[in-house]
Amino acid sequence: MPLELYYYETAPPSRAVVLLCKTLKLPINLRRVDLAKNENQTPDFIKINPLKKVPVLNDNGICISDSHSILTYLTAQYGMNSSSLYPRDLKKRAVVDSRLHFDNGTLFPALANIIRPMVYEGQTTIPEERRKIALEALDYVEGLLK
């Protein structure tokens, strides 16, 4: 039975899950949830994810929310032949996990706090404090890439 993914294509967390499914060649049914139209606020979607967020993965009745949880689940369940995606060695895996949590807890919120007001509220300037927080997060990423 194919996996079912509730997603919104402009949301980076959704795109990450779609890319992993393609990488692992997993059969998947995509269910678009238009956040711009508040489709994540409907009673039907709230039954799927009471947190009202995408992505959500349904794997044969097991619903998993949060892109990072979905990514690690899919890799462990279907992609362990490719240990380069999610290492078996716990020390190496801890490094991957720490970077996933950095993305989830620091990088994504810092960037979203700049982008969302521009896209959804028409804001044309970036408040200095938000800019500073985003640049610090991006500097950290830059250091990881060196």
Query: What is d(CA 29, CA 14) in angstroms, rounded to the nearest whole number?
Result: 13
pLDDT at 134 over 90: yes
Mean pLDDT of the chain: 93
Taking only the tens place, the pLDDT of each residue in 36-65 is 899 999 999 999 999 999 999 999 999 999
What pLDDT is stored for residue 120 in this prediction?
Answer: 84
What pLDDT is stored for residue 83 in this prediction?
Answer: 67
What pLDDT is stored for residue 82 in this prediction?
Answer: 66
Read off the tokens for 119: 């896209």
Say which residue the tokens 């991006």 belong to.
138
β-bridge mates for residue 31, sequence order: 6
Q: How confident is the model at residue 79 (pLDDT cuts 50, 70, 90)?
A: confident
Write down the pTM of the prediction. 0.83
Read off the tokens for 101: 């949590």
Q: Are 109 and 130 in contact (CB under 8 A)?
A: no
Query: What is d(CA 69, CA 73) in angstroms, rounded to the nearest whole number?
Result: 6
For the chain, domains (ranges, CATH) are 3-78 (3.40.30.10), 90-145 (1.20.1050.10)
